[in-house]
């Protein structure tokens, strides 16, 4: 598995979630799930990944954590803080898990410019309804797929995480709305009004 295949799998999961095809849900399938329902997307990704060879699942685990490291950025953390009304270390992991479920184009656009979050309809809706955007379940996609495929846990040491240092220019209290607005004007306008 490579990055292209991983993102293709996530897109398939998004499509299946939008169709309401949830392999773990016994409710009426006629109630289609919104394609932005991160938990449903993560469940679909797990089911799709479980059909792969164990080596590919291990590769997917590393790719997932490489994406988590690539998105470990102070501007994105500040944006998540505004969108979710606060954001702890774990909360930032879950927010980035949600971001991965939104697909490659959205992920790459937002990682390149965190203020782009303000342009996403799902973020606008969440801000209007004071909903948090997070998906802890994304972090377990490969763990759960591997367990389903093999009946065993992922082997220890099967992936590495190398988070970059956060930009020191962002080392300020994210409650400082003036500084946040100067750095992330669109997110600030959306979430601080």
Q: Dump pLDDT digits (tens) for 87-117.
A: 999 999 999 999 999 999 999 999 999 999 9
Number of domains in the chain: 1
> To the nearest 10°, the Cα dihedral for 84, 119, 171, 77?
40
Q: In the predicted model, is pLDDT for residue 168 greater than 50?
A: yes
Q: For residue 164, give its domain range.
A: 3-191
Query: Residue 136 to residues 39, 121, 154, 161: CA-CA distances in angstroms?
Result: 8, 21, 18, 17
Q: Assign 32 a pLDDT band (cuts: 50, 70, 90).
A: very low
Which has the higher per-residue pLDDT, 28 or 87? 87
Q: Assign 19 a pLDDT band (cuts: 50, 70, 90).
A: confident
């Amino acid at each position: 598995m490579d990055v292209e295949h991983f993102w293709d799998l996530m897109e398939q999961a998004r499509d299946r979630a939008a169709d309401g095809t949830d392999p773990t849900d016994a409710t009426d399938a006629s109630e289609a799930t919104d394609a932005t329902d991160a938990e449903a997307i993560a469940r679909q990704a797990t089911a799709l990944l479980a059909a792969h060879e164990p080596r590919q699942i291990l590769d997917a685990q590393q790719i997932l954590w490489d994406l988590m490291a690539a998105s470990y950025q102070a501007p994105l953390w500040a944006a998540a803080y505004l969108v979710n009304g606060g954001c702890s270390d774990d909360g930032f992991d879950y927010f980035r898990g949600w971001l991965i479920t939104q697909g490659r184009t959205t992920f790459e656009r937002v990682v390149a410019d965190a203020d782009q979050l303000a342009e996403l309809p799902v973020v606008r809706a969440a801000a209007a309804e004071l909903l948090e955007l997070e998906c802890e379940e994304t972090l377990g996609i490969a763990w759960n797929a591997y367990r389903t495929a093999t009946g065993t846990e992922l082997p220890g040491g099967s992936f590495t995480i190398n988070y970059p240092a956060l930009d020191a220019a962002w080392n300020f209290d994210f409650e400082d709305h003036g500084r946040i607005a100067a750095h992330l004007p669109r997110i600030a306008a959306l979430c601080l009004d």
